[in-house]
Amino acid sequence: MTNASVVTDEMRSKPFYQLTEEMFQCVSKHNFDRLAQICDDDFGIIDINTTGGSEIIRDRKGWENWFSGLFVKLSEMKAETWSEITHYEAVETENMGYGVVDFDQIFIAGDQKLRFSVIATIIWKKVDNIWKESRYHSSLIKVVPFE
């Protein structure tokens, strides 16, 4: 789910925007299979864990464990999450690219309603003529109540 009042046509027209948005939707919908198709993560990822700290994942097995475990935990909590992209920049070359995305991750579970403001850097690579996310690094900027 994207906040249409923040996303501009200019952002949507930049390289990898649709894939970035689809990755966020996969996380929101706990669509592990599609997320795994989009992401290679050769050198792992750095994500934000459920306590607001950094989760350092170094390989594909760690990636699979992280997301499968995260999706189970969120389901058990009956948590609803989605991302609202607030700023997006990207550059594409023939076989590689990178993007920087500012977004708010909304988290609602019971009475807990939070907005996590995040900036992520995403490295993309072309594999058999298909773009794949190759490295993801996110940084938590702030957490505020979601209203």
Q: Per the structure, how many domains does the chain have?
A: 1
pLDDT tens, position by position, 51-109: 888 999 999 999 999 999 999 999 999 999 999 999 999 999 999 999 999 999 999 99
CATH of the domain at 106: 3.10.450.50
**Cα separations (Å) of 107 from 14, 138, 143?**
27, 16, 10
- Region 3-22 average pLDDT: 88
pLDDT at residue 91, rounded to an integer? 98
Residue 4, in any domain of the structure:
no
What pLDDT band is residue 5 in, cutting at 50, 70 and 90? low
Task: Reply yes or no on whether the pLDDT at 2 is more than 50.
Answer: no
Q: What range does the domain containing 30 cover?
A: 9-145
pLDDT tens, position by position, 13-32: 999 999 999 999 999 999 99
